[in-house]
Chain A
């Protein structure tokens, strides 16, 4: 943001600003509609009425990376898909976060082979890994809560 460089340390002002901004960020995080395999089904189930992710301000799955803040990599990323994934990530506006949902996205899972990227963190920086094959919708929501905790701890200095 560059605020701190301009004004110096403002103490209580920046701390409150931090809290306000982080609160706003956690409460309207729009995920990108990006499913790759089995986990996409559970991601959609998390969006469906029974789990209803819009309770966390995740109203819409945006098809366009330009409109989204959170990329949920739901499923295995093949080597053919990896450049596409990186391009989508680059197109997302800052601030952006990544959740690697499920085993395959996190570390290759059962597909320990030539075709699958062994963990999507080789391509994009990952904030939260969710284990499960595939994780229950509750598991995904727990991952989102973990991400929220992480975002709430972010400091003003890191944004700048």
Chain B
């Protein structure tokens, strides 16, 4: 993603890697003509961690915990995507109750992710009161997740062949109570988003993306659904317990920032509705099925709907205790292209909002894979080589 020449007297505004807009590092360059942006480029890679390479050096179960750490917001869904792929390879299926619990975790995570985003996006728009409110209410979800799993961010709830934590009726009551409170608050936020004039002024008509653009640029998740592009893995290809407890797709027509706010808040309410339905008909079964330590050789893909959109895993097994190859494609990466296009024609002051509008997650992006030694010798580096290289580098 490089900039073309925009004439002799172009002016480039560089932003980042450390920047006031978002809390994770990324570098942006906006070409401006006065106040109006005429071109944009993104440079990523500041949080590259070598996770995919690291996965090849850990056992299947250890990888669960590694995969969770890809993203600090949607950690459970990463582990779910991985574990579903591995289960597919091993030819087992998680028991119904385990699948339902996975869905509960995923939906709770979606609630907390969307509320987090609501706060951050409002903060970018200079509406700090909403940030404080939504983060206050987010603590309710965080408390639920801590009650369920014991951790606030990386729940480590999944196991290959099931889940680790059961849900007691007592916990369900507490979660229901919290959900009632959240639903009330979310209705209030929806009211604020729809009726607050300053807020509408900052969001309506900004960053409008048509359905064709969304399709062309490969947008996924709520960003695409706000542009009337109805695509949701939970509906189109149900996984976990989504076949038994389906969700309804939330789609908006306008495609601007305001529509993205509305879609995400409505999606959160939909999650609450689904959670209540699961609690009513919680299937009874054990939590884990036995899975052999060595996963049979083969290749598979696994798709899930993360809070930000479609998350895609490719897993190859060589029949051993460790995966041969894991490839992750995260929703944030798909959505970056839209930012570059949408930025053109808007004022520079709208950029933080447009950036925040896709709900970017930088740590999701950076997963460079092929490291070549040199042109003559196109051999791919092994994990041990890379580690030695790292040790030498620091010496």
Contacts and interface: CB of A to CB of B under 8 A. Distances in A.
Contacts of B393: 79, 114
B30 interface: no
B198 interface: no
A114 B391 CA distance: 8
Given A33-B23, A45-B139, A38 B49 contact: no
A41 B119 CA distance: 12
Contacts of B72: 37-41, 75, 134
Contacts of A134: 72, 152-154
Contacts of B23: 33-35, 40-41, 43-44, 74
Contacts of B48: 78, 80, 115
B19 A113 contact: no
Given A110-B69, A134-B72, A50 B136 contact: yes
A74 B393 CA distance: 24
Contacts of A76: 47, 49
A43 B116 CA distance: 13
A81 B142 contact: no
Given A35-B24, A84-B17, A134-B153, A115 B50 contact: yes
Interface in B43-92: 45-51, 53-54, 65-66, 69, 71-73, 75
A113 B49 contact: yes
A159 interface: no
A75 B363 CA distance: 10
Interface in A62-89: 63-65, 74-76, 78-81, 84, 88
A152 interface: no
Given A41-B153, A84-B25, A34 B50 contact: no
A49 B45 contact: no
* B50, B72, B132, B386 interface centre (most CB from chain A within 10 Å): B72
B34 interface: no
B49 A116 contact: yes
Interface SS majority for chain B:
helix
Given A39-B72, A42-B153, A45-B142, A113 B17 contact: no
A118 B142 CA distance: 30
Contacts, number: 130
Contacts of A48: 119, 131-132, 135-136, 138-139
Nearest to A47: B135
Given A36-B24, A113-B53, A118 B394 contact: yes
B387 interface: yes
Nearest to A118: B394
A75 B136 contact: no
A81 B139 contact: no
Nearest to B113: A41
Contacts of A113: 49-50, 53-54, 383, 386-387, 390
Nearest to B44: A80
Nearest to A78: B48
B25 to A, nearest CB: 6
Contacts of A63: 18-20
Contact of B394 (A35, A64, A84, A122): A122
Nearest to B16: A84
Given A41-B116, A48-B135, A114 B50 contact: yes
B389 interface: yes
A111 B50 contact: yes
B335 to A, nearest CB: 19
A83 to B, nearest CB: 10
A65 B138 CA distance: 29
Interface in B141-155: 142, 152-154
* A36, A41, A111 interface centre (most CB from chain B within 10 Å): A41
Interface string B30-45: 0000000000000001
A78 to B, nearest CB: 5
Nearest to A41: B72
A17 interface: no
B105 to A, nearest CB: 17
A58 to B, nearest CB: 15
Nearest to B57: A113
A136 interface: yes
Contacts of A80: 45-46, 48
Interface string A85-100: 0001000000000000
18 contacts: A36-B46, A38-B75, A38-B363, A40-B23, A44-B23, A44-B120, A48-B131, A48-B138, A50-B136, A50-B139, A64-B20, A78-B48, A78-B366, A84-B25, A112-B387, A115-B48, A116-B50, A134-B154
Given A37-B362, A80-B46, A113-B390, 5 more contacts: A33-B18, A40-B23, A48-B135, A75-B24, A75-B72
Interface of A: 33-45, 48-50, 63-65, 74-76, 78-81, 84, 88, 110-116, 118, 122, 133-134, 136
